[in-house]
Chain A
Amino acid sequence: MEPMHEFSLCQNLLREARITAQAIALQNTAVKPAAKNTTDAINTQSDQLVITAITVRMGLFSGIDKHLLRRAFDVAVADHHRYWPTHSKDHRPLAEYCQPLGEHASAPASLSMQIQLSPQAQLIVEDAGATVYCEQCHRQFIVDGNNFRRHYLNCPHNSEHPTRLLSGNELLITNIQYQLQQTSPLPFSPGRRDKNPEGSSHV
């Protein structure tokens, strides 16, 4: 439980992104040795996958403010790096989450690739709006912020018609951009450069 709703959401977002990237990386490494020479296969011990951008699809009724989410994301990325060596021990190893994903899920945990998060990771937000179905007109309508202010979730033709919300509360990661890098011979030490890079962290 975190004090702030958007911030705890961003922490969830980073965790889910890393879990998914780990699962995909496991799948790829399991496929590669069969397709290519084993020497060509990525050496997962020395490689790391760096997430550079995350795309999120947000429905109108997800209850999340886009601008707050952006601000909270920057804070969450900084927070992630600040506690990076310690917080990963609090959670289950990422490979454990990846078991149900894909047919190569039986890959040994030693294959797990290091998933890192770029300090300049970007958040891209897609607004998805909401969809409403009118049971009298038998049609569905797309509701965006402007429409909602005009006639809420009513049927735009007649506000007396009974309607149903079809979609609009989704909150999904739709894309992850990444780079594969060889682990640097120098250990990555994020360090505390200053006490509070954001100024006031009240988001």
Chain B
Amino acid sequence: MCETCGCSLQPKPQIPFGADVQFSPRFAEPRQHSLEESGSLALLRGIMTANDQQAAKNRVLFQAGGTFVVNLMSSPGAGKTLLLESTVRRLKKNYRVAVIEGDLETENDANRIRAQGVAAVQIATGSACHLDADAIARAQQQLPKGPLDFLFIENVGNLVCPAAFDLGQHANIALLSTTEGDDKPLKYPVLFQKVDGLVLSKIELLQFFDDFSESQAIANFRRLANRSPVWSLSAKTGIGVDNWVNWLIDTRATLFQLRPSSSSPQSRVPDGAPS
């Protein structure tokens, strides 16, 4: 006897219907579907509306505080945290800087940033492959109160999913390290198409690799109808980092309509300054 297939149940006695049996519907008046009751609605509504609304709220908040928000995206190990460390080192003298770190697990990245003397919030996403606008809004509340000049968001290392989520940032930046190969922009076109700038990182390794061509990487990036600036830099040795930092300072000044002279004249990092 088993209870799985029902073979233990006693069959109901089957009674044949007589000729005089009248069948009646289960519900007194079955409701007929008329044309009016079924139909289709033609419309246009974004699927990401909920995320986009939250991102718009974030953006208003950042805009009001005069905070320039940069979303850094790359594959794992492209050097996002090292770039942030050397960027923060240059910016922290003259600007108020904070960092939001997104990783699946660990506080390691936030601790590396905190070692620079700058506030950092770690979002441990658990198993999520990207950050979304809600996560940023929650992390933003954990940041120390008071105005900020720069907020860097280090997204989860991933070249696919982060591209689909607006966080309320002012600029999307992608990193491409020389160890990854110069064809990556064409392999992950969605992300590289929508970024506002590309950082070619770890160029100090170029003397050891002959299979990465800087010009080829840039050409592939341009094939995606993207004419944003490209910075070749080495966060480890400091080569080219100043160009990138100056772009951040200038873009923030343009965005918030600050005259370059209104910030202190020493605020710009002089070209070729030692790291």
Contact = CB atoms under 8 A, between A and B. Distances in A.
Interface residues of B, number: 44
Nearest to A179: B38
Interface string A123-167: 000000000100000000000000010011110000100111100
B164 interface: yes
A179 B190 CA distance: 37
Contacts of A9: 47-48, 164
B127 A61 contact: no
Contacts of B132: 1
Given A1-B135, A12-B47, A153-B224, A148 B189 contact: yes
A132 B126 CA distance: 38
Q: Report whether over half of chain A's contact residues are helix, strand or loop; otherwise say mixed.
A: mixed
B40 A62 contact: no
A63 B225 contact: no
Contact of A13 (B38, B43, B47): B47
Interface string A23-56: 0100000000000000000000000000011001
Contacts of A12: 47-51
Contact of A164 (B131, B160, B225): B225
Contacts of B38: 52, 177-180
Given A179-B38, A180-B37, A171 B46 contact: yes
A148 to B, nearest CB: 7
Nearest to B125: A1
Contacts of A63: 160-161, 163-164, 190-191
Contact of B41 (A2, A16, A171, A176): A176
Interface in B1-53: 27, 31, 33, 36-51
Contacts of B131: 1
Contact of B42 (A62, A151, A153, A174): A174
Contacts, number: 121
A85 interface: no
A61 B190 contact: yes
B31 to A, nearest CB: 5
A21 B47 contact: no
A3 interface: yes
Interface string A159-203: 100111100011111111111111001000000000000000000
A156 B193 CA distance: 18
B227 A162 contact: yes
Contacts of B42: 174-175
Interface string B184-205: 0010011101100000000000
A95 interface: no
A172 B45 contact: yes
Nearest to A56: B47
B127 A16 contact: no
B47 A165 contact: no
A9 B135 CA distance: 16
A172 B46 CA distance: 4
B45 A5 contact: no
Contacts of A24: 41, 43
A172 B42 CA distance: 11
B37 A172 contact: no
B149 interface: no
A15 interface: yes
Nearest 3 interchain pairs by C-beta: A153-B225, A180-B37, A152-B223
Interface of B: 27, 31, 33, 36-51, 125-132, 134-135, 160-161, 163-164, 186, 189-191, 193-194, 223-227
12 contacts: A9-B48, A16-B45, A16-B49, A21-B41, A153-B224, A170-B46, A171-B47, A173-B45, A174-B43, A176-B41, A179-B38, A181-B37
